Structure 1
Amino acid sequence: NFTGFSDAYYRTIAWLNFTSTELHKAVFAPILSKASSDAERIAARGRVTRPFAVLSSHLDGRDFLEDRFSVADAYLLAVLNWCEFSRVAIADWPVLLAWRDTLRTRPSVARAMAEEWPLLKAA
């Protein structure tokens, strides 16, 4: 590879891009934006099926998006946490729910959530 970066690096970039475009921008940005109409929020919730299916299939039997915890897992976890504030039914996706709940038990994640969660709930 001419760049000097590993294949794992590029897969991580791909997962970051997937989370950014397919979930953050397409689903959650319109749902959480005060400027969005009810129709835009409903349409955004309808866009969750394909990315959740891709993630559910990929994460089934896996601990992480790749072979170890990475920034891509942290970003996806943050985005999946928004389900609780946006009426996106993650409970319909047991693989994603279990993955999210398992990652929440990591000491660094638990610490960050203990500090940030009250701020998010208050917003």
Structure 2
Amino acid sequence: MKLFYTPGACSLSPHIVACEAGIDIALCKVDLKTKQTESGGDYTEVNPKGSVPALQLEGGEILTEGPAIIQFLAEQKPEKSLAPEYGTLPHYRLLEWLNYITAEVHKSFVPLFWNGAEEEKERAKKILNQRFQFIEDHLSGDYLLGDDFSVADAYLFTVYNWCDRVGVDTGGWPKLKAFAERMAARPAVKKAMKDEGLI
């Protein structure tokens, strides 16, 4: 399998999950501004949406959208317990968190990354403060689903790390800070970040 990624972007999440699962994946860096792969190819021929991540499967099919990819990867190695068993309430709690991170957190960063007007940026920061405060208030264990790591944690860690880059103050979230430190210490996270040149 091949993961199309941009260093530190939301594609870091499936990269972490692949490392956690012990799945060997080839990496192909994408320049999101030019939509070119590191080999000079047109990335929109891989993913017409033009966004990362995209996962090229063994048969050549392309899977896009981070939450779908991380669930797919988790299901390739069920013995790693990276996602709760399908059909159980914890499985739907996982989906609940993935949807929240995607729709309410991830997308709220857009004005901060794509040169939004100053008024838009300030509004985005207020929204992100509310969204992360909600997560802070609901973290009751080491990870989103309690004491066990899941694929949702890889996604949360990825978007939380954007806060410093765009000027969102994280000082009021001690649980999230501790969560990020726990995540950063995981060998799979270290490997993915090293592979992407982030550490």
TM-score by length of 2: 0.53
The answer as to 2:118 corresponding to 1:38 is yes
Relative to 1, partners in 2 of residues 1:117 and 1:30: Cα closer, same or farther, differing over 3 Å? farther
| Amino acid of the structure 2 residue aligned with 1:113 | M
1:102-122 deviations in whole A, cap 9, x for unaligned?
Answer: 111000001111222539xxx
Indicate the RMSD between aligned Cα atoms, in angstroms: 1.7
In structure 1, what is the Cα distance between the partners aligned to 2:188 and 2:198?
17
1:20 aligns with: 102
Structure 1 residue matching 2:168: 3-state secondary structure: coil
Partner residue in 1 for 2:88: 6
Q: Which amino acid aligns with 1:64?
A: Y
* SS in structure 2 of the partner of residue 91 of structure 1: coil
Say whether residues 1:104 and 2:180 are aligned partners.
Answer: no
- Residue of structure 1 in register with 2:194 after alignment: 114
Give, as a single letter, the amino acid of the residue that structure 1 aligns with 2:158: A
Structure 2 residue runs without a partner (length 5+): 1-85
> Which residue of 1 is the match for residue 134 of structure 2?
54
Verify the 8 A CA contact 2:112 2:166 in the aligned structure 1.
yes
Match of 1:92 in 2: 172
**Residue identity (%):** 35
The structure-2 alpha-carbon separation of the partners of 1:29 and 1:117, relative to structure 1 and needing over 3 Å to count, comes to: farther
The one-letter code of the counterpart of 2:198 is: P
- Partner SS for 1:48: helix
Question: How many residues of Structure 1 are paired with residues of Structure 2 in the alignment?
Answer: 113
Counterpart contact for 2:183–2:189, Cα < 8 Å: yes
Larger strand share, 1 or 2? 2
- Which residue among 64, 73, 78 is the counterpart of 2:143? 64
Task: Name the TM-score, length of structure 1 as normaliser.
Answer: 0.83
Q: Could you say which structure has the larger radius of gyration?
A: 2
8 Å CA contact 2:157–2:180 kept in 1: the answer is yes
Tell me, in whole angstroms, the C-alpha distance in 2 between the residues paired with 1:117 and 1:100: 18
SS at match of 2:143: coil
Q: Deviations over 1:53-75 (max 9, x none)?
A: 22111114x11111421111100
